Amino acid sequence: MSDKIKITLPDQSIKEADKGSTVYDITGLIGKGLQKAALAARVDDVPVDLSAPIDKDCSLSIITFDSEGGRDIFWHSASHLMAQAIRRIYPGAKLAIGPAIESGFYYDIDIDKTLTPEDLLEIEKVMAQIVEENLPVTREELSRADAVKLFSSMGEIYKVEMLNDLPEGTVSMYRQGEFVDLCRGPHVMNTGIFKSFKLLSIAGAYWRGDEKNRMLQRIYGIAFPDPKELKKHLDFMEEVKKRDHRRIGRELDLFSTHEDVGGGLIYWHPKGARLRTIIEEWWRKEHFKNGYEILYTPHIGRSTLWETSGHLGFYKENMYSPMKIDDNDYILKPMNCPFHIKIYQTSLHSYRDLPLRWAELGTVYRYEKSGVLHGMLRVRGFTQDDAHIFCTPEQIEGEIKEVLRFSLWMWKTLGFTDIKAYLATKPEGSVGEQSRWETAQESLRKAIESANLKVEIDEGGGAFYGPKIDLKVRDAIGREWQMTTIQFDFNEPERFDMYYIGEDGQKHRPYMVHRALLGSIERFVGILIEHYAGRFPVWISPVQAILVNVSEDQVPFINAMKSNMIDRGYRPQADTRNESMGYKIREAVTQKVPYICVVGKNEAENGTVSVRKRGEKDSVTMSIDEFYAMMDSDIAEKR
């Protein structure tokens, strides 16, 4: 029997190695640079540690920080490093979970002390000591019963609870020095790999996300192999902090939330409400232009409606408890679609009536746990930019193309140009005829092709009731947001027995498409605030110009100009307070308005205005008509 094994690499080249060689040793045969960068590997597509031995022919791909799954491994290992440091400082701390997340890692801990930012610095120091110790990270396997005994002896009640939820069998854990943690892995080879890390913040988190459980302390962190990458990330996080819509919302007086009367509910202040009104009026105008009709439907419906739609079966945990009215149960609507279907059913439809494009800015209510509520981005009550299309099989391809075109036009008009499509296809356990799925998926695929969009296929990622397209947009600092959804539904037309009369005089089931372009108004405005950092384009700015007087003598001129601007459809604000001109200009700058217009003695006498555009230091004196022409040009160009 040969003592050699053949290793097939991703480029289909083959390396020979001694039987029983570790992945790390084999990586060295490929290249010393790759060996240094390696974090873990996939052997026959199964993730393994670098220390894992290989004793048979196989395929091998090396996982580095920049390859798929690499960051998760690095950050998960960093969470173990942090947990070890915490246990050294606070021996009585109990560890819950410490996963990698999209932007780093966290660990939930149960500790009597309330941690402060200064405590994070102390934890970082101990983490650096463990890095210097360069401890090997090793995998161990033992029976579930033995694992329960081990973690019980350590007082790790949360680990024991997780173990008791697992089936009988073998479990894995990872050890580094005196520290051991329950984990599937894989992990890095040693603690010396962590050269750059930073603990970022502390938050509260209920154990297992359940408000009935104990509140734990969650420590967030980030780590990179290269110090330059860490600095770049921290600079990015600082920019994110500057753009936080909650902070800017307060500074610009756009909205507020009030925990004392209910979390996850948005209060729109006058300027925020003006911004929302501008967007909604534009939304309605463009929908009418694109062949949609606007609907308005109730906020509540009898529970029997939600039984028919199926929401009480598959969406109940996100719905609020029924309220009793006239001995019937009513529920706050989480969706608009059943109401639109009921309108559809008020009359008989022919194939000649289709397609029907019905849109609604409908306010819905969905339960979210308090721990995930986040300003405007994660709320409990929100207004959906919603629409439903009912059409024939012959119309579906054209309708999907048109929806996608309309969506892309709206996003580009709003200043988002980096857009990617995600096509989710038929999952296991889906409902609806196979032919309908095939037709639907093909129409989605062709629409994406015709729009020349970047696309990623999510095989089997569709809802059980239909395939969909999700559009994700990148904002000004490169973050990706999932926004538009174009979703087929083969479930509700069946449940409500929807039909139209075809050319053959027979009943036929219409295609039904759910469609949200902006998603929800609340979340969209939150993202819009962060995208522009509060510096909205002129056409959607709630205040387009602030008019500032130099002395009391110019107040009549300012008031007349303001009235004239309002008559012309502009949105001015006058600041005629008895404050210095410099003070009023500084305050106007902090409000991020597109134009600051100063009127002194000369301007009032000559019928001119001194205009300072946002972001510019110098002012330009011009006639009022020239100022209006400049505004009109900026509005027309969506600047």
Q: Give the closest residue to 336 by CA, choosing from 481, 518, 516, 483.
A: 516
Q: Which residues does the annotation mark as catalytic?
A: 337, 366, 384, 386, 388, 468, 514
Beta bridge partners of 547: 574, 597
Beta-strand runs (E) in 125-214: 138-143, 170-176, 179-182, 196-206
**How many angstroms separate the CA atoms of 163 and 6, rounded?**
38
Q: Which helix (H) or strand (E) holds 22?
A: strand 21-22
**How many angstroms separate the CA atoms of 319 and 324, rounded?**
15
Verify cis geometry, omega within 30 degrees of 0, for the bond prior to 167: no
Beta-strand runs (E) in 502-636: 507-508, 511-520, 545-549, 572-575, 595-599, 608-613, 620-623
Tell me whether residue 108 is exposed, middle or buried, using C-beta atoms within 10 angstroms of its C-beta: 0 to 12, 13 to 18, 19 or more: buried
Collapsing DSSP to helix, strand or coil, 448 comes out as helix
**How many angstroms separate the CA atoms of 479 and 236, rounded?**
10
Q: Give the closest residue to 413 by CA, choosing from 293, 291, 290.
A: 290
Q: Give the closest residue to 572 by CA, choosing from 553, 556, 588, 552.
A: 588
Whether 562 contacts 572, CB under 8 Å: yes
**How many angstroms separate the CA atoms of 472 and 455, rounded?**
10
Verify cis geometry, omega within 30 degrees of 0, for the bond prior to 334: no
C-alpha gyration radius of the chain: 30
